[in-house]
Amino acid sequence: MKFHPFSLVLVGMVMAIAPIACTSEISSDTAPTSEAPTETVPEPPVVVESGVDAPAEATLQTYDGAAYNYPINAQYPDTMQAEGGCSGEGCGFTFTFAPQGNAMDDAEVHIFLPAGTATAAEQEPFVTGPNGLIENAGWTVDSTQDESEQFPYPWVETVINFSTDQEETGHILLGETNGQAVQVLLKYPAEMADTYWADAKTVLDTLEFNADFLPIAASSEGPAE
């Protein structure tokens, strides 16, 4: 059998190319693939609810009435100011807010211990009666409660909720402790209630009455400063 020279050349080329193609295919199948490294994302921290509201960065001040023979002690944030004293009518203590140039300048927590008055019932007419605190101030009584979850303090017996024509709202707490009537006025702008309570609640929560200076007798001119 005779082969044409061109046929021999073509067969030789096919045989030479075939191993290369097979080798390329095998290399493609067996070569290890290189994967990009996966970045590890850290898990977010677990937040455990403590049940205690973390206050803003504020320093608490202490109103130490005992240092002046006054019958109360309380703490208040440094965003507030405190002053007080006693006279023949009783003892009064006012916690106001540092001037801010807004409606909070008129907000306050006022604690009054009337001389010669032992119970909340005895003090209430001076608040809600004719020529009383509410009438003289021109405020409107919205409701009255014998108990309130908002003010769970042992000395509170009656809560009088009121509003003013200056877009203010407030509460008057009446109660008694150690044979002494207690009256606390809480007044603040209605649209800034959250700002008010953030600080006012500190005063109420830490308010303590000193039995050594109670009750205040009607004939007393008040403890000497």
d(CA 192, CA 26): 77
Residue at 51 is within a domain = no
Domain match, 87 and 183 both = yes
* Beta carbons within 10 angstroms of residue 208's beta carbon: 13
Domain match, 66 and 21 both = no
pLDDT per position as a tens digit, 114-131: 999 999 999 999 999 999
Domain match, 26 and 64 both = no
Domain match, 70 and 23 both = no
Domain count, the chain: 2
Residue at 81 is within a domain = yes
d(CA 86, CA 88): 7
Residue at 177 is within a domain = yes
Domain match, 209 and 107 both = yes
Residue at 49 is within a domain = no
Residue at 189 is within a domain = yes
pLDDT of residue 208: 98
Mean pLDDT of 166-195: 97
**What is the total residue count of the chain?**
225
Domain housing 11:
1-30
What percent of the chain is predicted at pLDDT more than 90? 69
Question: How many helices (H) and strands (E) are present in the chain, helices listed first?
Answer: 5, 10
Domain match, 115 and 181 both = yes
pLDDT of residue 55: 47
**Mean pLDDT of all residues belonging to the chain:** 81
Domain match, 15 and 68 both = no
Residue at 170 is within a domain = yes
Mean pLDDT of 137-157: 94
Residue at 125 is within a domain = yes
pLDDT per position as a tens digit, 199-209: 999 999 999 99
Half-sphere exposure of 79 (CA within 13 A, CB side): 18
Q: Among 6-10, 66-70, 102-106, 169-173, name the one with the lowest average pLDDT.
A: 6-10
Domain match, 15 and 111 both = no
Any alpha helices (H) in 45-175, and if so which ranges?
A: 120-123, 125-128, 133-137
Domain match, 178 and 113 both = yes
Q: Among 3-7, 59-63, 105-109, 213-217, name the one with the lowest average pLDDT.
A: 3-7
pLDDT bin (cut points 50, 70, 90) of residue 148 is confident
